[in-house]
Structures are given as structure tokens and as C-alpha cells.
């Protein structure tokens, strides 16, 4: 059964489980939040931009996307790719930050977006184009990058090379019309959970798109993350969504059978 973990979120995004605690971003409040086990929250950083998402470098430093490159730590020190806006982020074992950005904002005529990589020295380069509203990102087995293409209703994968290139582009899962995958996470069986705003659900799929489990809620699911002490708590970040934008955000939880794996 789905339970309420947190309320009072203006617009929730980018959930993470890190260092034994649940983290997320509240986009409209401009806050990076960390929660204790009872849902109490602390503001770790404040930003004045949209979008922004979080992950961690291997040395434990918080890394955040902004509309002006990446910043590091709670003090938001410039890190790399200055002048470039990014949406989602996932950091690999080599401290490379994989980031993406849609080609047009929600509601505008669709345009292809891109996936970029930001190296540990702060330099960046585009590594994949022709991605249709790229959203959630995850890494499976340290070798496969998966990106949710919201406007193409699919999860797309690439093999990550040793020198930080993306090759062997392929459709990891064809989700069908209207799926609009947003945030994603990976489990220990190699399946992916994806959140759907129009579907008001989070769905677990295997390679190819076979549906394994679906959790329906009362509002749009923007993202999801497996966490908890044993990795089997699915945190669902959901917001009401309409012509006036997003609001009335909540974090819901549900216990599942297969634990977290991969990155983030």
C-alpha cells in the first residue's frame, strides 16, 4: 500500500537516496532538501533557477545542475560547463557527470534535445543528439546509460566507452503511446522503474518494455527512486499538473520486492 512520506512540496523533482537518507529538489521553492526517517526536512541549498537536479561525486560532494553549468557543494561553487543549462544528471564511477537538456520547454513545439558529459576537469561536450525531451537518467552495471525520452515514449540506451563516449544507441524499452517517461531508477534485476506524469503512475519494465508492475496514484508522477535501508522502498515524487503548471507536491512510498541497483 502506498503511504504519504512528505507533503508541502511546491514542485518535487530529482529524488535520490544517499548516505542513508532521502533527498530531493523542490523546483518552485528553489530548494535542495534532505529528509530524516520520519519525513522531517532540512534545506541543504537554495537555487534561483530552473531546472536543477542533484547527484554526488565519488568523493562525496553534492553536484547540482543549473541554468549556468554545474555547481558543487551546499555553497554552489562553480564546477564546470559554465553558461550551459542542464536538466537531469547521473554521475558515473569515473566522476563523469552525464547531463541532458530538452530542446524546447514543456508546452512549446517539440525540438530535439541533447545528452552531454562533464568531465572531472569541468570541460564538457555533447555526446548524443536527437533525443526527444530527455528526462531521467540512470546507469546500469557501470556500462550502460539509459535516458527517458518523454516525447518519444521510450527509454533509450547507449554503451559508455572507457574514454567517455556513447556508442551502440538502442531502444531499451518501447513504452507505447502516452507513456511519457520522466524520472527513472534501476533495480537489482536490471529492470527500470519510470514515472509518468500523464499516466499518474510509476511502472516497472524489463528490457524491451514488458510491464512488470504498476503503482497508480492521484496525481502526476514526476520521478521515483529506490531507497530505504534495504533498498526496497520506492519513493514517488508526484505533483498535480495542469494548465497553470505544477503544484501540491507530495512524496509517496511503497515497498517493492527488488532492491535498488545502478546509479543514481
Mean pLDDT of 180-199: 98
Instruction: Identify the bridge partners of residue 245 per DSSP, sorted by sequence position.
Output: 242
- 152 in helix, strand or coil? helix
Q: For residue 263, which of 156, 194, 186 has the smallest C-alpha distance?
A: 186
**Predicted pLDDT of residue 243:** 79
Position 262 pLDDT exceeds 90:
yes
Mean pLDDT of 29-46: 95
pLDDT in tens, 205-222: 999 999 999 999 999 999
CA distance 91 to 235: 20
Half-sphere exposure at residue 239, Cβ-oriented, CA atoms within 13 angstroms: 22
- 257 in helix, strand or coil? coil
Q: What is the mean pLDDT of the chain?
A: 96
**Predicted pLDDT of residue 38:** 84
CA distance 24 to 33: 5
Mean pLDDT of 188-201: 98
**Predicted pLDDT of residue 220:** 97
Position 1 pLDDT exceeds 90:
no
Mean pLDDT of 154-158: 98
pLDDT in tens, 59-108: 999 999 999 999 999 999 999 999 999 999 999 999 999 999 999 887 78
Domains in the chain with CATH codes = 3-261 (2.120.10.30)
Query: Cell match 572531472: residue?
Result: 120
Q: For residue 133, which of 160, 105, 158, 91 has the smallest C-alpha distance?
A: 105
- Does this model's pTM top 0.95? My answer is yes
Q: What is the largest CA-CA distance in the chain?
A: 45
Instruction: Identify the bridge partners of residue 134 per DSSP, sorted by sequence position.
Output: 149
Position 39 pLDDT exceeds 90:
no
Query: Cell match 533525443: residue?
Result: 131
Position 8 pLDDT exceeds 90:
yes
DSSP structure class, residue 208: B
- Determine how many CB atoms are found less than 10 A away from the CB of residue 58: 11
Rounded (5°) CA angle 19-63-238: 70
DSSP structure class, residue 27: T
Instruction: Identify the bridge partners of residue 13 per DSSP, sorted by sequence position.
Output: 25
**Predicted pLDDT of residue 134:** 98
Cell numbers of 50, please?
530552473
**Predicted pLDDT of residue 109:** 87
**Predicted pLDDT of residue 106:** 79
Percentage of the chain beyond pLDDT 70 is 100
pLDDT in tens, 105-145: 877 888 999 999 999 999 999 999 999 999 999 999 999 99
Amino acid at each position: 500500500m502506498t503511504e504519504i512520506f512528505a507533503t508541502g512540496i511546491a514542485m518535487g523533482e530529482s529524488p535520490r537516496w544517499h548516505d542513508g537518507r532521502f533527498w530531493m529538489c523542490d523546483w518552485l521553492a528553489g530548494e535542495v532538501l534532505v529528509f530524516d526517517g520520519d519525513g522531517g526536512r532540512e534545506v541543504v541549498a537554495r537555487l534561483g533557477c530552473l531546472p536543477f537536479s542533484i547527484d554526488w561525486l565519488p568523493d562525496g560532494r553534492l553536484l547540482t545542475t543549473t541554468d549556468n553549468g554545474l555547481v558543487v557543494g551546499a555553497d554552489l561553487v562553480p564546477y564546470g560547463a559554465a553558461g550551459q543549462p542542464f536538466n537531469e544528471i547521473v554521475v558515473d564511477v569515473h566522476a563523469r557527470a552525464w547531463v541532458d537538456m530538452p530542446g524546447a520547454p514543456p508546452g512549446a513545439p517539440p525540438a530535439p534535445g541533447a545528452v552531454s558529459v562533464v568531465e572531472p576537469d569541468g570541460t564538457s561536450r555533447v555526446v548524443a543528439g536527437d533525443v526527444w525531451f530527455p528526462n531521467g537518467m540512470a546507469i546500469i552495471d557501470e556500462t550502460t546509460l539509459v535516458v527517458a525520452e518523454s516525447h518519444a515514449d521510450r527509454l533509450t540506451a547507449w554503451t559508455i566507452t572507457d574514454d567517455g563516449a556513447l556508442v551502440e544507441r538502442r531502444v531499451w524499452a518501447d513504452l507505447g503511446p502516452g507513456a511519457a517517461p520522466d524520472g527513472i531508477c534501476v533495480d537489482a534485476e536490471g529492470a527500470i522503474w519510470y514515472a509518468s506524469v500523464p499516466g499518474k503512475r510509476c511502472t516497472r519494465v524489463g528490457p524491451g518494455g514488458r510491464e512488470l508492475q504498476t503503482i497508480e496514484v492521484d496525481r502526476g508522477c514526476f520521478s521515483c527512486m529506490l531507497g530505504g535501508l534495504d533498498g526496497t522502498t520506492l519513493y514517488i515524487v508526484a505533483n498535480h499538473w495542469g494548465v497553470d503548471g505544477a503544484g501540491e507536491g507530495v512524496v509517496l512510498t511503497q515497498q517493492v520486492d527488488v532492491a535498488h541497483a545502478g546509479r543514481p
